[in-house]
Every structure is written in C-alpha cells, then in structure tokens.
Amino acid sequence: MKCTAAKGAAESTVKTFYIETFGCQMNAHDSEKVVGTLLNQGYSQVPTPDEAELVFYNTCSIRDKAEQKVFHRLDQFKKNGKGKTFAVLGCVAQQEGERIFEKAPHVSLVCGSASYNKLPELLVQLETGNRRVTGLSLDTDLTFETPVTRRDNPHRAYITIIEGCDKSCAYCVVPFTRGPERSRTSASVIAEASELARAGYSEIQLLGQNVNSYRDPSPAGWDFAKLLDQVGRVDGIRRVRFTTSHPRDFVKEIIDAIDANPALCNHVHLPAQSGSSRVLDSMQRLYTREQYMTRIAWMKAAKRPIAISTDIIVGFPGETEADFEATLELIDEVEYDSIFSFKYSRRPNTVALRLNDQIPEEEKSRRLTILQEKQRAIQVRRNAAYVGTVEECLVEGFNQATGQWIGRTSQNKTLNFLRRGEEDLRGLYVEARVTRAGPNSLAGECVN
C-alpha cells in the first residue's frame, strides 16, 4: 500500500506505518496523539507490521515483563525486517535511550514521551536519510498538545491534565521515564472537553500519573477537585472519570465534588500498594494504612455508592508473611470492586533495587495467587448484590456471539444485556436490569 503525494514543490512518497501500544492509558492516549500527528504529516496507517514501512512500538517499562515484550517484537524482525524502519517510543525508549540501538541494531528512532512534540522534526530527519535519530530530553515544559489526535473510542475520550510524576515511590520507574510533573492550564483542558463534546463524545477520562496533584499553572489556579467539577459541567459531557490517584494527595473535596455533580462517575481508583504501614514506609508512599483508610471512609460515606478499585504489589523487598497478611486484611476491610495486582519487579534506577531481602519469585507467585483468589470471592459477593437493580449504561459495543450489548455503568462495571429490536445502541445511555452476576461482569436486560 503505497501512494505518492505532492509535498510542496517536490514529489514525495506517502509512507505506511503500523503502531502497537503497550501499557497504561497514558500510553494509549499518547499513541492516539502520535497517530494523529503521523496522519497529519501524510503518513497512512496499516493494520499489520508486515504491510508497514515504519513500525512503531509505544512501550511500557513499569515491570520487567512489559519491557521484554518490545525486544521480543523487535527480535522477530531481526532477519526479515529489511526495508522497514523501526521506532521505539515511550517508557523503554526513555529508560534505555541509545542502548536500544545496541540491543536492536535495526531500530532507527528512539523517542520518549516528553519529546513527542518533536516527532514531526525527527521523522523529517529519518526521511532525509539519518540512520539513527533520538528524542530523549526530559526538560520540556510543553505537554504533547496536538490538535490532530486520532481517538480510538468514538464515545469516550482521554484528556491529559498532568504529565510526569514528582513522587519517588521506591519501586517505580515512572519518574525517570516520564519526568517531573507538568500541569496543563485549566482553560486548555476545558477547551478540549468542550471541543470533544461538540464532536459527540459524552464521556471524558482525565489522565495523569497523579491527577490529584494537578495545579492549574494559570492565574485561575484551580486544584484537581475544581477542575473535575468544571469538566463535569461542560455541556454535552455526561460522564467524567479520572485516573490515577495518589492517596497522599487525595483530598475530601474530590468526594464532595462527586457528591455534588452527577456527571462525575461514582468510581475511584486509589492505589494502596500494600496494607502494611511498615511496607508503605519502605515503598516511600508517604501515607500509612490508617491515612489510606481515612480516604476510603470518605468514599464509603458518599451519597452515591462509590466503586473502589486499587493496585497492589506483592513481594516488595522485606515484605514478611505478617505484612502480606495485613494486605489481605486491607482487602477484606475495603471490599474493593476490583484490584490490579502485581508481583514486585526490580526496575533500573529505583531505590528498591538496593534494598536487602528480595523475595523469591515462587513466594511472590504464591502470595499473588492467594490475593487474587481472595479478591475473586469478594467480587463474586459484591457483584451478586447488584442483581435486581437497574443501572444506567453507556453502550460500548455488541457481542455477536452472545447477542448481548456491552454496557458500562458509572461504577465502571461491565453490564452485558439483551434488548429486542434492531436499533444500534452504541454510544447511547440505556437502563438495564441486572439479572445475573459473575466476578468480573454483570448481565441483564434493557428496561427501556
């Protein structure tokens, strides 16, 4: 698939590109911006790497396994990648820098997320014959603002409100790969939300490594709670979500805003990481279990039932059986709606690398299994309580195999439901009665 287009006076070839994204929603959204930028530059997107001249991997390095994925992908093209240009973007790019050229000599472009605003320039360098090009600077004030974002979901749109992270959690590579915190002005966030509403999006997800530490750099000086509330008041926006939060910066005003504004979804993702204050201290998380539980108490006292999810790391260096038990107790006490749980993974540059008493891999696996089984039972119990209730769903798709529509509730639960008739419900808000519940989803039937 190749065509030619006139670019200025000279004829040039329109190149095809393929992009694969690993990792978190921040990366997914970055890829949407990269795709928009590439299309705007005249490149055309293809669905497989085989068809592409330019192959982009937007990478994640949060855990070792994620990092290895990109090198596996690149290895596949060591022999048969002739004629293609390979680019590594994102966190592995930032972390490994020019070392990537040694590990994978067929890579030509290495670019971290803080340098994506230079991507058009870097692409020109590639086109003009440069064999190795890098964008690795972290000292940029500019967030990657682009008017040409190509969004993957037709109803829900991401908006980045803050980039980078100023915390220094002992296990985490993010402050090294995404650099220091930079907040966007409230005016530019509201303008983007309004534009998205005009384009037909009804759900907004505010993104940042730590959205709670958002600080409007303009004289308006909004904090996160104010920004959240105001995005929820944009005409046409029916749902607002946010991720991710840090307990230290999570203030009561956020719950007050959710209470006061029905457009703000009743779901909060609040990573605990551990239920042991001793481990939290050595993780440098800046809160105790008690302080974390105060935030949970605010949520449990909210007017609408707020679904709560979290991230847990098992097997952090020095985590004793008693510490792990404390995490299991935390899970029982909070009764989370869902949990993302991980085995601790050693990451370059991090403080935890130097800690003694690393936990053996088998022990980490044992703890992870116990935790996941416990959480599964909690989810079965919690979801069963929804049977008989009527929930508003944003319809996201249709499952041909089961004949069910796929909806999402404000609490971020998947509700698969049946409805008579031929009408295409995608993008609509409908009410569905829950008739069955499993650990990971609800099922029911439409009542309107």
| One residue of 273, 309, 327, 383 binding ligand 5AD per CB under 6 A | 273
φ, ψ dihedrals at 393, nearest 5°:
-125, 140
| One residue of 90, 208, 271, 444 binding ligand 5AD per CB under 6 A | 271
Angle among Cα 233, 237, 239 to the nearest 5 degrees reads: 100
Sites for ligand SF4 among residues 248-277 (CB under 6 A): none
Please give the Cα distance from 141 to 382 (Å, whole number): 44
| One residue of 86, 344, 405, 417 binding ligand 5AD per CB under 6 A | 344
Only segment of 71-79, 226-234, 341-349, 419-427 that touches ligand 5AD (CB under 6 A): 341-349
Please give the Cα distance from 279 to 283 (Å, whole number): 6
Sites for ligand 5AD among residues 51-110 (CB under 6 A): 62-63
SS (H, E, C) 376-420: HHHHHHHHHCCCCCEEEEEEEEEECCCCEEEEEECCCCEEEEECC
CB of 321 to ligand SF4, least distance (A): 24
Q: What is the DSSP string of 84-152?
A: -EEEEEHHHHHHHTTHHHHH-TTEEEEE-GGGGGGHHHHHHHHHTT-S-EEE-----------TT---S
| One residue of 77, 101, 342, 398 binding ligand 5AD per CB under 6 A | 342
Token reading at 223: 């904090």
413 touches ligand SF4 by CB under 6 A: no
62's contact among ligand 5AD, ligand SF4, none, with CB below 5 to 8 A by partner kind, is ligand 5AD
172 touches ligand 5AD by CB under 6 A: yes
| One residue of 54, 107, 162, 165 binding ligand SF4 per CB under 6 A | 165
Residue nearest to ligand 5AD (CB): 311
| One residue of 16, 140, 209, 409 binding ligand SF4 per CB under 6 A | 209
311's contact among ligand 5AD, ligand SF4, none, with CB below 5 to 8 A by partner kind, is ligand 5AD
- Residues contacting 442, CB < 8 A, separation 6+: 383, 386, 391, 409, 413, 414, 415, 416, 434, 436
Please give the Cα distance from 217 to 161 (Å, whole number): 11
167 touches ligand SF4 by CB under 6 A: yes
Please give the Cα distance from 367 to 370 (Å, whole number): 5
| One residue of 33, 118, 184, 246 binding ligand SF4 per CB under 6 A | 246
Please give the Cα distance from 167 to 174 (Å, whole number): 9
Helix (H, G, I), strand (E, B) or coil at 438: coil
Token reading at 399: 């499952």
- Site pattern 110..149 for ligand SF4 (x: CB under 6 A): ----------------------------------------
Query: Which residues face 414 on adjacent strands?
Result: 408
Chain-centroid distance, C-alpha 241: 12
Angle among Cα 22, 183, 156 to the nearest 5 degrees reads: 50
172 touches ligand SF4 by CB under 6 A: yes
311 touches ligand 5AD by CB under 6 A: yes
214's contact among ligand SF4, ligand 5AD, none, with CB below 5 to 8 A by partner kind, is none
345's contact among ligand 5AD, ligand SF4, none, with CB below 5 to 8 A by partner kind, is ligand 5AD
- Contacts with ligand 5AD by CB under 6 A lie at 62-63, 171-172, 271, 273, 311, 313, 342, 344-345, 347
- Contacts with ligand SF4 by CB under 6 A lie at 165, 167, 169, 172, 174-175, 209-210, 246
